[in-house]
Amino acid sequence: MIKLIGFLTRKHGMDVADFQAYWRDVHAPMIARSPGLLRYIQSHACPEAYDEYPPVFDGVAEAWFDDIDAFDAAVASPGWQAAIADVANFMAPGGGRLFATEVPIIDALPSPRERRGMVKFIGLLTRLPGLSVEEFQHHWRDIHGPLVHAEFPEMRRYIQCHAIPDTYAMTPPPAYDGVPEAWFDNLDVFPWRMVRRTGDERASAAARDSQNVFLQPIPSIVAREVVILE
């Protein structure tokens, strides 16, 4: 199974609440009609966090398919084509996407129903120059992942989304090399040091290791999931 991850910015001048309502209630049903779509989740940036922490994107879309051929068939369908035509009504150009496979580090709460209402951290990782895709994925999975797990005991679930190596030859290539996703009960327990590292906090093992693997600073989003198709 593969996961398509897309990054959304709302149209200039559009209110956050209007963007989220349009994306959820108007645009989502078009995508949901696509053949071969196994699951579809929208992650909406938390509105109450915009003033303190403006997100790099207003939302992240995740759609699961059996494989790339199934995705291509979905794109050719009337529902997906209608969704493409609808994009300009609520989205700004750009954003990018990647096809990924999931690597569970904390494999809890697997059902979206179990995570309803939780806060979700989404990071956007770009590997340092000189690191191959294979080296990056190994380090992130086997070395960095356990360090993050140890530093943030508040995490209820932690999934790494690794860009599929073969897709680097596609046009366009992956927008990012990887997307970490971590769930927390609510904003009250969310560790804001995940998105705002200070000099002192770089003393942590995970933060020190981050400098060796990822371009800095790491863009991120703090969001809540909206389940469209489960």
| pLDDT tens readout for residues 144-179 | 999 999 999 999 999 999 999 999 999 999 999 999
Q: Which residue has the tokens 């108007």?
A: 26
2-224 has CATH 3.30.70.100 classification: yes
Q: How large is the average pLDDT for residues 101-116?
A: 96
The answer to whether residues 105 and 43 touch, using CB atoms and an 8 Å cutoff, is: no
Predicted TM-score (pTM) above 0.85: yes
pLDDT tens per residue, range 8-27: 999 999 999 999 999 999 99
Give the pLDDT confidence score for residue 201 in this predicted structure.
Answer: 52
User: Which of these, 175, 191, 222, 205, lies nearest to 55 by C-alpha position?
Assistant: 222
What type of residue sits at position 12? H
Task: State how far the Cα of 183 lies from the Cα of 159, in Å rounded to an integer.
Answer: 9
Query: What is the domain partition of the chain in residue ranges?
Result: 2-224
pLDDT tens per residue, range 47-76: 999 998 999 999 999 999 999 999 999 999
Give residues with Cβ within 8 angstroms of 50, minimum separation 6.
16
Q: What is the mean pLDDT of the chain?
A: 95
Residue 197 has pLDDT above 80, yes or no: no
Residue 202 has pLDDT above 70, yes or no: no
Give the pLDDT confidence score for residue 203 in this predicted structure.
Answer: 73
